Amino acid sequence: MKSTELSTISRETTNGTANSVRTASRIRIRWHELSPLNPIKLITFEQLVNLGKITAAVAATSVTRRAMVWGTPTMLMLEPTTACQLKCPHCPTGRGELARPGGRISLEKFRTLWDSIHPAPIRLQLWNQGEPLVHPDTPGIIRHATASGSRVILSTNVEALANPRTAEAIVRSGLHTLILSLDGASAESHVQYRVGGKWDRVERGVRNVAEIKRKLNRKYPVLQWQFLLFKHNLNERDDALRLAREWGANELVFKTAQLEAFEKEEGERWLPDDPKLRRYVLKDDRWVLKRAERPFCARIYGSAVVQWDGTVVPCCFDKDGEFVIGNAHDAGFPAVWQSDAYRAFRQRILTGERPPMCANCTEGLHGMYAKKERF
Ligand code: SF4
């Protein structure tokens, strides 16, 4: 923990916000920004204790090389639906190649799942495969999670926000950050990756949310434009900056693109020539991540992914549900989190028997974000 974070906690607990350790369950701690997505601003004492347990489990596991699981996840990623309007070439849903049944979670099932986790995760990431805003209950899911003090972040292709009613429901839901996945600053370049996208709907969508925020005098959701750097859109970075300001976005992040296939030609087609703007290097005619093979994965001790039907998988890189740990709707999430199957998977990763998905994973990757601008 950084010293600035410690001093913030100490100021908060001595200035009268909380009276004593005995009132711990009501203590709210102001927390400095810990990641580019600012996931933690305000957490409860129970969430802080839980974060301590996860940190201790990661430390103990890395020393003993035996998978320890203490606490509950501080971050949950939930897939509201597998449906999407677009056909992005690097996405299994977009290619129509998702090797598991599609569908969407009901609000009732989500509530049962969420309420079974104590303390509630600090952060809910509301996406996986599919577009979250085509699910009519997404605002209700956000409201339920934020009511328990969690911070909800959603990533969207923006199309659905062209409907002002959807845009208003999202602004009113209590969402903290809306990631706008737009990879270009013109209709021509946008559709090269976001195949089937409509640039005019995208513009209307961003403007709608910014305008409704203004009318309702809301600071949130933070509008973060996330621009994947491809060979074909590099020359539009300045235009994106201009449009982000003009449309009312709050941040613009240039992010290196991920490949789904690693042949030389595939990378040459999509990746920028400048090595600083890509996360891969070419080795023996294959693209490989620019990081040493890591012997340790901390992510699976503090987070999990729940697919629309309740299936729990260890992380978002398991897109097809190859490593199913259990089902949160059937067994209950806490039982799955502590199950022998989960422990065996964590131990497998620990001992170096890593599945192919780990080779393309961002865990421990530096340089994922090329640049970030705030307005
Ligand atoms: S892909 Fe592998 S290394 Fe990455 S988060 Fe998942 S289990 Fe960990």
Condensed to tens digits (0 to 9), the pLDDT of residues 220-254 reads: 999 999 999 999 999 999 999 999 999 999 999 99
The residues facing 180 across adjacent strands are: 156, 225
Q: Measure 53 CA to ligand 1 centroid, in angstroms.
A: 20
Express each pLDDT in 146-186 by its tens digit. 999 899 999 999 999 999 999 999 999 999 999 999 999 99
Best substitution site from 296, 346, 348, 354 to test ligand 1's pocket, by max atoms within 8 Å of Cβ? 354
| Average pLDDT rounded to a whole number, residues 276-296 | 84
Q: pLDDT tens digit string along 316-352? A: 999 999 999 999 999 999 999 999 999 999 999 998 7
Looking at residue 31, its pLDDT comes to 42
Band of pLDDT at residue 309, cut at 50, 70 and 90: very high
Ligand 1 centroid to Cα of residue 30, in Å, is 30
C-alpha to C-alpha distance for 100 and 319, rounded to whole angstroms: 9
Mutate to test the pocket of ligand 1, among 312, 349, 362 (most ligand atoms within 8 A of CB): 349
Name the burial class of residue 147, with classes exposed (0-12), middle (13-18) and buried (19+) by CB atoms within 10 angstroms of its CB.
exposed
pLDDT given for residue 30 in this prediction: 38
Name the phi and psi angles at 124, rounded to 5. -115, 120
Answer yes or no: are the C-beta atoms of 89 and 115 closer than 8 Å.
no
Cis amide leading into 119 (omega within 30): yes
| Cα-to-centroid distance, 206 and ligand 1 (Å) | 33
Q: What does the alpha-carbon distance between residue 52 and residue 233 come to, in Å, rounded to a whole number?
A: 42
Output the CA 106–ligand 1 centroid distance in Å: 28
Banded pLDDT at 367 (limits 50, 70, 90): low
Q: If you take atom 2 of ligand 1, which residue's CA is the nearest one?
A: 358
CA of 297 to the centre of ligand 1 (A): 6
* Mean predicted lDDT score pLDDT of the chain: 87
Any ligand 1 atom below 6 A from CB of 357 = yes
Residue 40: per-residue pLDDT: 45
How many A from CA of 319 to the centre of ligand 1?
A: 12
pLDDT band at 19 (very low <50, low <70, confident <90, very high): very low
Q: What is the per-residue pLDDT across 67-114, written as a single tens digit (0 to 9) for each?
A: 999 999 999 999 999 999 999 988 888 899 999 999 999 999 999 999
| Atom 3 of ligand 1, residue of closest alpha carbon | 358
Confidence band, pLDDT 50/70/90 cuts, at residue 41: low
Residue 4 pLDDT > 70? no
Higher pLDDT, 309 or 9: 309
Write down the pTM of the prediction.
0.86
- Calculate ∠ Cα 127-131-132, nearest 5°: 55
Q: How far is the CA of 216 from the centre of ligand 1 (A)?
A: 41
User: What token pair was written down for 283?
Assistant: 């080795």
Q: Please tell me the residue having the least CA distance from ligand 1 atom 6.
A: 315
User: Does the CB atom of residue 342 touch ligand 1 within 6 A?
Assistant: no
- Residue 294 — pLDDT band, cuts 50, 70, 90? low
Q: Does ligand 1 lie within 6 Å of residue 316's CB atom?
A: no
* Sheet strands side by side (includes 251-256): 326-327, 311-313, 303-306, 75-78, 123-125, 151-156, 177-181, 222-229, 251-256, 369-374
Q: What is the pLDDT of residue 320?
A: 93
User: How close is the Cα of 185 to the center of ligand 1, in Å?
Assistant: 32
Residue of minimum CA distance from atom 8 in ligand 1: 297
- pLDDT at 291 (0 to 100): 75
